[in-house]
Structure 1
Amino acid sequence: MAYRVLVVDDEAVIRARLKGYFEKEGYEVLEAQDGDQMWYEFNRQHIDLVMLDINLPGVDGLSLARELRSKSHVGIILVTGRDETIDKIVGLEMGADDYVTKPFELRELLVRVKNLLWRMSLVKKAVADSAEQDDPNDNIIAFNDYVLELNSRQLSHNGEQIKLTKAEFELLTAFSLHPQQVLSRERLMMQTSHRNQDVNDRTIDVIIRRLRNKLSAELFVTVHGEGYLFAAKVKD
């Protein structure tokens, strides 16, 4: 079956351009001009990936991305006319997987879509393989009074759930799998889904600051000039 892509943009010309191009590449493409139409399409059928413009009438694309991520693991690519670094960082923190800046090349966007769908397929396979393991504890990482469940992507502290964005979950998983080790920003970047050349070191710094706010700050030690160290003692 062809992947189903939902294009959310208030400009009809852009929607038509993306629809025509991606349908020629073998994708099924749906359209929405605002958040209401997006939710209508999203709730009535399976969507593999959403191309979401930030500047929408009504509810903006960043807020829609955050709500989408809270309800689904659908692929999200933000499309924006702005090029400020802070917008990109906020978009990734809201749960987007990638972004492109207008004006964009259709071939570049196609590559980003293919790469994201490929990474998503690898994650699904890894989760399925993990679920088939005999020992359910292989899915659980425990440190201090925290429990991180890999399959469900949930974190709890003394039984109380802590909500994590996708980027926060991926970084915490990378840290917990390499405790007491210094991890460079470049290595941490490779552990996440946001592996494109436009994202700089500050992205990692911002995500770690958010993890410090949600967990114990002393768990994440800054090693100047090298990276970060996860100070927790992880239980086998």
Structure 2
Amino acid sequence: MEKEGFDVHSATSSPSALEIFSSLDIDIVLLDLNIPGTHGFEIAKELLSLKKIGIIFITGSTEQVDKIVGLELGADDYIQKPFDFRELLARIRSVLRRLDHVTDNSSGSESEAGHLKAHFGNWQLDCLTQEISGKDNATPELTSHEYFILLALLKSNNRVLPRDFLLNAISSRNWTPYDRSIDVLVGKLRKKLQCENGEYIKTIRGQGYKFCSAVTWSD
């Protein structure tokens, strides 16, 4: 990783990982679910409570539930062992781009969106801070996946977005046809927007999702 320009700090246990995180400015964490000391999910929860960072889970498990739980916790991606270094590097860069730590050819359009605010119903989404606010001072915290799903839906208001389109919006990985991770994330997003009955995000059976409320944009 150092040859690719990254400053790398390694930990072999959960206490040492937390010590490194508290003493250094970390942008992204590659977190093995089986790290000695504490389960990787618990470490991720603690890290995300301290700072908004990128997290990629490393796992030897093929269980779908591990991926779903990881995404629910706010992880950005996961990679299964054994993996190719080039694939890992691509995913790291993809996560960092979404966190605005590096730029690529698409960064111009993301930068333009970053200065906008979207207004819908009683909500306002600030694309610069990736924060959402609503009536009664409601400020639910969005994970990076939830933010990018919501942004994609808002930009395509009243258009159906297929599941694979939304999955590709949050990760560069290849998804299986039966992957239901997007449904879990949309369900969590609905809860945070207090629209579990589909007031904003409507499920189009066999196709995907559609944002069905009026959206306006401002600087």
Which of the five TM-score ranges fits, normalised by the shorter chain? 0.7 to 0.9
Counterpart of 2:162 in structure 1 is 184
Corresponding residue SS for 2:10: strand
- Rounded to whole Å, the distance in 2 between the matches of 1:122 and 1:71 is 25
- Rounded to whole Å, the distance in 1 between the matches of 2:109 and 2:30 is 25
Percent of aligned pairs sharing the same letter: 37
Question: Does residue 161 of structure 1 match 2:139?
Answer: yes
CA 1:119–1:172 in 2, change beyond 3 Å: closer, same or farther?
A: closer
CA 1:63–1:26 in 2, change beyond 3 Å: closer, same or farther?
A: same
Corresponding residue SS for 1:77: strand
2:211 partner letter = F
The answer to whether the 8 A contact 2:94-2:172 is kept is: no
Structure 1 residues 59-208: aligned runs within 5 Å: 59-120=38-99, 121-122=102-103, 129-130=111-112, 138-158=115-135, 159-192=137-170, 194-198=171-175, 201-208=179-186
- Rounded to whole Å, the distance in 2 between the matches of 1:127 and 1:39 is 35
Corresponding residue SS for 1:32: coil
Question: Does residue 234 of structure 1 match 2:211?
Answer: no
Unaligned runs of 5+ in 1: 1-21
Alpha-carbon deviations, 1:144-171, whole Å to 9, x = none?
Answer: 1111111111112202111222211111
1:102 partner letter = K
- Rounded to whole Å, the distance in 2 between the matches of 1:184 and 1:152 is 27
- Rounded to whole Å, the distance in 1 between the matches of 2:112 and 2:175 is 32
The answer to whether the 8 A contact 2:15-2:37 is kept is: no
Q: How many residues align?
A: 209
Unaligned runs of 5+ in 2: none
Displacement of 1:198 in angstroms is: 4.0
Counterpart of 2:20 in structure 1 is 41
Task: Give the TM-score of the pair, scaled to structure 1.
Answer: 0.76
- Rounded to whole Å, the distance in 2 between the matches of 1:163 and 1:67 is 15
Counterpart of 2:205 in structure 1 is 224
- Rounded to whole Å, the distance in 2 between the matches of 1:204 and 1:141 is 22
The answer to whether the 8 A contact 1:127-1:151 is kept is: no
Task: Give the TM-score of the pair, scaled to structure 2.
Answer: 0.81
Displacement of 1:92 in angstroms is: 2.2
The answer to whether the 8 A contact 2:91-2:172 is kept is: no
Please identify which structure carries the higher helix content. 1
Q: CA RMSD in A?
A: 2.8
